[in-house]
Amino acid sequence: MNHFEQAMVKCVLRRTGQRKDLYHLMHKIRPKHFTAGQLHASALEHGIRVSLATVYNTIKTFELAGLVRNIAIHDHLSVYDTEIEPHAHLYNETTGEIEDLDPALLQELSIEVPDEYEISGLHLVFRLRAMKVAQA
Protein backbone atom coordinates (compact mmCIF):
# COMPACT_ATOMS: atom_id res chain seq x y z
CA MET A 1 0.00 0.00 0.00
CA ASN A 2 1.48 3.37 -0.99
CA HIS A 3 1.37 6.59 1.07
CA PHE A 4 -1.76 7.87 -0.66
CA GLU A 5 -3.62 4.62 -0.02
CA GLN A 6 -2.50 4.59 3.61
CA ALA A 7 -3.68 8.19 4.03
CA MET A 8 -7.01 7.34 2.38
CA VAL A 9 -7.50 4.32 4.62
CA LYS A 10 -6.79 6.43 7.73
CA CYS A 11 -9.18 9.15 6.52
CA VAL A 12 -12.01 6.76 5.73
CA LEU A 13 -11.57 4.71 8.88
CA ARG A 14 -11.25 7.69 11.21
CA ARG A 15 -14.97 8.34 11.18
CA THR A 16 -16.45 5.40 13.04
CA GLY A 17 -15.51 2.18 14.71
CA GLN A 18 -18.13 0.42 12.59
CA ARG A 19 -16.30 1.37 9.40
CA LYS A 20 -13.05 0.12 10.84
CA ASP A 21 -14.69 -3.14 11.92
CA LEU A 22 -16.27 -3.62 8.47
CA TYR A 23 -13.00 -2.79 6.72
CA HIS A 24 -11.13 -5.46 8.67
CA LEU A 25 -13.99 -7.94 8.30
CA MET A 26 -14.16 -7.62 4.52
CA HIS A 27 -10.49 -8.53 4.31
CA LYS A 28 -11.00 -11.79 6.15
CA ILE A 29 -14.49 -12.70 4.94
CA ARG A 30 -14.89 -15.86 2.88
CA PRO A 31 -15.79 -16.05 0.07
CA LYS A 32 -13.31 -13.36 -0.94
CA HIS A 33 -15.81 -11.78 -3.34
CA PHE A 34 -18.87 -10.79 -1.36
CA THR A 35 -22.22 -9.07 -1.63
CA ALA A 36 -23.34 -6.40 0.80
CA GLY A 37 -25.76 -8.96 2.23
CA GLN A 38 -22.96 -11.46 2.83
CA LEU A 39 -20.82 -8.81 4.57
CA HIS A 40 -23.82 -7.82 6.68
CA ALA A 41 -24.46 -11.45 7.70
CA SER A 42 -20.79 -11.92 8.52
CA ALA A 43 -20.78 -8.71 10.58
CA LEU A 44 -23.68 -9.98 12.66
CA GLU A 45 -21.91 -13.33 13.14
CA HIS A 46 -18.86 -11.45 14.42
CA GLY A 47 -20.91 -9.38 16.85
CA ILE A 48 -20.76 -6.18 14.81
CA ARG A 49 -24.21 -4.68 15.30
CA VAL A 50 -24.85 -2.77 12.11
CA SER A 51 -27.79 -2.36 9.71
CA LEU A 52 -27.73 -3.54 6.12
CA ALA A 53 -28.18 0.09 5.01
CA THR A 54 -25.04 1.06 6.94
CA VAL A 55 -23.14 -1.80 5.32
CA TYR A 56 -24.24 -0.58 1.86
CA ASN A 57 -23.28 3.00 2.64
CA THR A 58 -19.94 1.97 4.11
CA ILE A 59 -19.10 -0.17 1.09
CA LYS A 60 -19.97 2.77 -1.20
CA THR A 61 -17.61 4.96 0.83
CA PHE A 62 -14.88 2.33 0.56
CA GLU A 63 -15.53 2.09 -3.18
CA LEU A 64 -15.22 5.86 -3.65
CA ALA A 65 -11.98 5.78 -1.66
CA GLY A 66 -10.65 3.00 -3.90
CA LEU A 67 -10.49 0.47 -1.08
CA VAL A 68 -12.91 -2.00 -2.64
CA ARG A 69 -13.97 -2.72 -6.18
CA ASN A 70 -17.50 -3.35 -7.44
CA ILE A 71 -17.84 -6.19 -9.92
CA ALA A 72 -21.14 -6.17 -11.80
CA ILE A 73 -21.67 -9.83 -12.62
CA HIS A 74 -25.06 -9.18 -14.23
CA ASP A 75 -28.05 -6.84 -13.82
CA HIS A 76 -29.11 -8.40 -10.53
CA LEU A 77 -25.77 -9.28 -8.96
CA SER A 78 -22.98 -6.98 -7.85
CA VAL A 79 -20.18 -8.30 -5.71
CA TYR A 80 -17.31 -6.52 -4.06
CA ASP A 81 -13.64 -7.37 -4.14
CA THR A 82 -10.91 -6.15 -1.80
CA GLU A 83 -8.36 -6.90 -4.53
CA ILE A 84 -8.39 -3.57 -6.35
CA GLU A 85 -5.65 -4.26 -8.87
CA PRO A 86 -7.14 -4.97 -12.31
CA HIS A 87 -7.94 -8.64 -12.73
CA ALA A 88 -10.56 -10.79 -14.44
CA HIS A 89 -13.05 -13.19 -12.90
CA LEU A 90 -14.70 -16.52 -13.52
CA TYR A 91 -18.34 -16.60 -12.45
CA ASN A 92 -19.95 -20.01 -12.13
CA GLU A 93 -23.65 -19.52 -12.89
CA THR A 94 -24.39 -23.01 -11.62
CA THR A 95 -22.80 -22.69 -8.16
CA GLY A 96 -22.67 -18.90 -7.79
CA GLU A 97 -18.94 -19.04 -7.04
CA ILE A 98 -16.63 -16.28 -8.23
CA GLU A 99 -12.91 -16.78 -8.63
CA ASP A 100 -10.04 -14.65 -9.83
CA LEU A 101 -8.72 -15.63 -13.22
CA ASP A 102 -5.04 -16.56 -13.26
CA PRO A 103 -3.32 -13.25 -14.20
CA ALA A 104 -0.83 -15.16 -16.35
CA LEU A 105 -3.68 -16.06 -18.70
CA LEU A 106 -4.49 -12.38 -19.26
CA GLN A 107 -0.89 -11.63 -20.10
CA GLU A 108 -1.19 -14.05 -23.00
CA LEU A 109 -3.76 -11.75 -24.57
CA SER A 110 -1.95 -9.15 -26.60
CA ILE A 111 -4.28 -6.20 -26.70
CA GLU A 112 -3.06 -3.30 -28.79
CA VAL A 113 -4.04 0.23 -27.88
CA PRO A 114 -3.05 3.43 -29.69
CA ASP A 115 0.36 4.84 -28.69
CA GLU A 116 -1.12 7.76 -26.75
CA TYR A 117 -3.40 5.51 -24.66
CA GLU A 118 -2.99 3.02 -21.89
CA ILE A 119 -5.41 0.50 -20.46
CA SER A 120 -6.77 2.24 -17.37
CA GLY A 121 -9.06 -0.49 -16.14
CA LEU A 122 -10.29 -3.98 -16.69
CA HIS A 123 -13.71 -5.45 -16.23
CA LEU A 124 -13.88 -8.96 -17.56
CA VAL A 125 -16.10 -11.73 -16.25
CA PHE A 126 -16.22 -15.16 -17.85
CA ARG A 127 -19.56 -16.76 -17.07
CA LEU A 128 -19.56 -20.53 -16.75
CA ARG A 129 -22.43 -22.97 -16.43
CA ALA A 130 -22.60 -26.69 -16.09
CA MET A 131 -23.31 -28.44 -19.39
CA LYS A 132 -26.36 -30.61 -19.57
CA VAL A 133 -25.33 -34.21 -19.85
CA ALA A 134 -27.46 -36.37 -22.11
CA GLN A 135 -28.83 -39.39 -20.29
CA ALA A 136 -28.33 -42.76 -21.97
Chain contacts with Zn ion (rule: CB under 5 A): 81, 83, 100
Shortest reach from residue 104's CB to Zn ion, in Å: 15
Between 65 and 101, CB nearer to Zn ion: 101
- Backbone phi, psi, residue 8, to 5°: -65, -40
Shortest reach from residue 67's CB to Zn ion, in Å: 14
Between 16 and 70, CB nearer to Zn ion: 70
**Alpha-carbon gap, residue 52 to 94, rounded angstroms:** 27
Between 18 and 86, CB nearer to Zn ion: 86
Helix, coil or strand: residue 27: helix
- Backbone phi, psi, residue 39, to 5°: -65, -40
Shortest reach from residue 84's CB to Zn ion, in Å: 9
Residue 133 DSSP one-character state: P
